[in-house]
Amino acid sequence: MFGFFHYLRRKKLLKEPLPPEWKEALDEALPFARELDSRERRGLEDHLKILVKHKHWEGAAGFELTEEVRLQVALQGARMARGLPLDAFARLSEIVIYGQDFVRPDDPFEGPVHGEAHPFGTVVLSWPACQEGLAYPCSGYNPMLHEFAHMLDVSSGYFDGTPMLHRGDDYEPWARVFQYYFEDLRQNPEASFLDLYAAEDEAEFFAVSTEAFFELPDVLLEHAPELYRELARFYRVEPQVIPCSCESHEPFEDDPAGDPEEVGRPLYRASLPGDDLS
């Protein structure tokens, strides 16, 4: 019965026209949206409505959560889910946003956290980190895409780098391709264009690869064509074919010789059950 009423509520929402200010924000934040075909554009707008209206949003530690902030974050989730079914983010229930990088009381490194995804359905983000990701749309660094990717990953029940794929036949090539590139990154980090945080585990590899797929698709296709194709088959989009208007395509660089805690992004990850936030 609950599912039926949820379906009716969503159906009513999707019939509503996109508010003019949302459309303006969409076209400004995602200029490539004008190049999308009708299927992807409709998927983008529908997922945007669902994320803004059907998820719980919370500003943490006194942060004022404005509609602009909600829209900017939701647009990144809608961007990545535009080719996916409307229940793609069914596991996601809440988005919590801090006005600054946050720290965790049980973190041995006491480093700033840019984002976390929890298996019970909560995504936590640092707004300054989100702003940095938005400011450099072709850098391959986008904590919103990263954490939303974790929520797609856990749709299968675990943070393991394998979301719920569309067909049973998809799992064998997915596992083979992802394992190959994951092991190659661990063995040859100096040769990889991916952020080295991807070498943490399979879940982080999927999340970082997702960032590259949407922000550096031409680079991903050139250096890891099989990985690009698996992600394209899962997300059901081809970002590489959309002209990019960014002035810079240079990803952030990591130092493979640096200390482990200094390599990659500062501690943002899929969170384990029982983790507490400060």
Does the residue 183 lie in any domain?
yes
Q: Which of the residue ranges 101-110, 178-187, 243-252 would you say has the lowest mean pLDDT?
A: 243-252
Predicted local distance difference test score (pLDDT) of residue 209 = 97
Does the residue 165 lie in any domain?
yes
Q: How many domains does the chain have?
A: 1
Predicted local distance difference test score (pLDDT) of residue 242 = 72
Q: Which of the residue ranges 100-109, 195-204, 206-215 would you say has the lowest mean pLDDT?
A: 100-109
* pLDDT mean over 139-167: 96
**Which among 108-117, 232-241, 258-267 has the top mean pLDDT?**
232-241
Does the residue 4 lie in any domain?
no
Band (246; pLDDT cuts 50, 70, 90): low
CB 177 within 8 A of CB 243: no
Domain residue limits at 209: 87-270
Q: Convert the pLDDT of each residue in 114-134 to its tens digit.
A: 899 999 999 999 999 999 999
Structure tokens at 246: 């960014």
**Which parts of 16-94 fold into alpha helices (H)?**
20-29, 38-54, 67-81
* pLDDT mean over 16-32: 94
In the predicted structure, residue 85 carries a pLDDT above the cut 90: yes
CB 123 within 8 A of CB 94: yes
- What mean pLDDT value characterizes the chain? 86
In the predicted structure, residue 214 carries a pLDDT above the cut 70: yes
In the predicted structure, residue 264 carries a pLDDT above the cut 90: no
Band (164; pLDDT cuts 50, 70, 90): very high
Predicted local distance difference test score (pLDDT) of residue 243 = 63
Q: Where are the beta strands (DSSP E) in the chain?
A: 56-60, 94-98, 115-117, 122-126, 269-270
Structure tokens at 239: 């970002």
pTM of the model as a whole: 0.86
Q: Report the C-alpha gap between 205 and 222 in whole angstroms.
A: 18
Does the residue 1 lie in any domain?
no
Q: What is the CATH number of the domain that holds 235?
A: 3.40.390.10
Does the residue 45 lie in any domain?
no
Percent of the chain past pLDDT 70, that is, above it, reads: 83
Does the residue 209 lie in any domain?
yes
Predicted local distance difference test score (pLDDT) of residue 10 = 86
Does the residue 63 lie in any domain?
no
Band (105; pLDDT cuts 50, 70, 90): low
Bridge-based pairing of strands 115-117 and 269-270 is: parallel
Does the residue 109 lie in any domain?
yes
DSSP state letter for 102? B
CB 99 within 8 A of CB 73: no
